[in-house]
Amino acid sequence: MKMFGKILLLGASVFVWLGEANDMKECGKLFHPESRKCCKITSVKLNLGDNIKECIDAGKVSPLPSGASNKSPTCDLDMCLAEKRGILNDQGAIDKDKLKKAVETEFSSVPGLVEKIIKKCIEGDVSKYAPSDFCELINIRNCMMVQAYNECPDWDDTDANCKEIKNLIEKCEA
């Protein structure tokens, strides 16, 4: 899997963005699994295989809730992975110090990315990265994905979808 696609595995749920505003809906294209192929770098490897399998086997998936009118995905898989990675506190909330350490460790080969993720996604306001009814972990994961795309040094400019994604990055980060 490509380097920046690995960032999604920190949260690891796949969803279709169904935000209310057109800009949010358009920016949601950044988080579609197909966008992961656009960055050709593979230098960061997250080791989440067993954790993902355990969470999925435990029924922790992130589909749209049955009968949900707001069409928001659940945060079950993200929470399960965060718990297994040790980034939740005793109350089940995100421990931002532990998350910073995890980011510093996992992405140590890309220091510029680490700095941006910490500043914008851990210490910053992540509310613009998903509709208001999405959980904080999804917002953080989405923010991390945008930062990773911003730092990608080898983008696939031959694919039409990748060109569209690249154009959306600047718009959606604004």
**Short-list 142, 143, 141, 148, CA closest to 166:** 148
Identify the architecture of domain 3-60+72-173 in CATH. Orthogonal Bundle (1.10)
Give the pLDDT band (50/70/90) at residue 126: very high
How would you classify residue 30: left for phi > 0, otherwise alpha for psi between -120 and 50, otherwise beta?
Answer: alpha
Domain boundaries, the chain: 3-60+72-173
Task: HSE, CB side, 13 Å, CA atoms: give it for residue 45.
Answer: 3
State pLDDT tens for residues 104-125: 998 888 889 999 999 999 999 9
What is the average pLDDT score of the chain?
Answer: 76
- pTM here is 0.75
